[in-house]
Amino acid sequence: MEYSFNRDRSEIVFAHMKDINASYKDLCNVCDSVRYKSVPEAIAILDSVKEGTPLLFRRHNKGMGSRHELGGKKGRYPIKCASIVKKAIVNASANASNKGLDPDNMFIVHATANKTTINRRYPSKGILYHRSGGYGYSSARRSDLEFAKLEVGIATGTEKGLSQKMQKAIEHSRKYLEKMEKQKPKAKPAKAAPKDKALTSPAGTAKPAKKPVHPEMQKRPEPVKTDTNAQEDKKV
């Protein structure tokens, strides 16, 4: 397949999807939100859409409402398109792993979506006959079925074919990841056992604990033992 990436593609790992039954406008904005991000960060952004986090729509946003999570900017929750783009990123990561690369240390250098084909929709034969009075024609329906294609390319960010703008955006994303790693709280070390604590005795030497005795049992007098042989001698 001929990709729309018009630079050196020798060191970039690609993945594509075609004939997608989804809005290419939403796919374009989802691609904008993950472009020049690392692969783990991009997957985390796409997973957050299912949890109720909106994505910023820089284009194709006419009449769209603003979101307070985005600081008053226009956005939406494209759950279907986010899952499609995530699937393409996972496919590209698998291709990179097959080539011996580490996808966790790679960045998305290319992500784009375009409209491919349009299938015209026409009314059914029954609607043509009944609604038109039997003459066989009806008003045209404008809800056409549009398909799209998706391209994703990942790389380490040090390739020669990347432009200065791409390298600058990738470097900014790399510094942001390093900053977030430093801000993570460090795990507290486990507390050592106190030295004064006595060691456990070896097996078989420990004394069994005494069972508690009920107070009424303590008051009862012990039974008197009688010698049966002495009693028989007295009778004789």
Distance CA 224, CA 236 (A): 23
Ramachandran quadrant class, 154 (left: phi over 0; alpha: psi -120 to 50; beta: rest) = beta
Fold classification of 13-182 is: Ribosomal Protein L22; Chain A (3.90.470)
Torsion 3-5-6-9 (CA) sign: negative
**Residue in 2, 5, 148 with CA at minimum distance from that of residue 81:** 148
pLDDT 10s digits, 9-57: 888 999 999 999 999 999 999 999 999 999 999 999 999 999 999 999 9
Does the pTM of the predicted model rise above 0.75?
A: no
pLDDT 10s digits, 59-110: 999 999 999 999 999 999 999 999 999 999 999 999 999 999 999 999 999 9
Torsion 17-18-21-25 (CA) sign: positive
Distance CA 56, CA 74 (A): 6
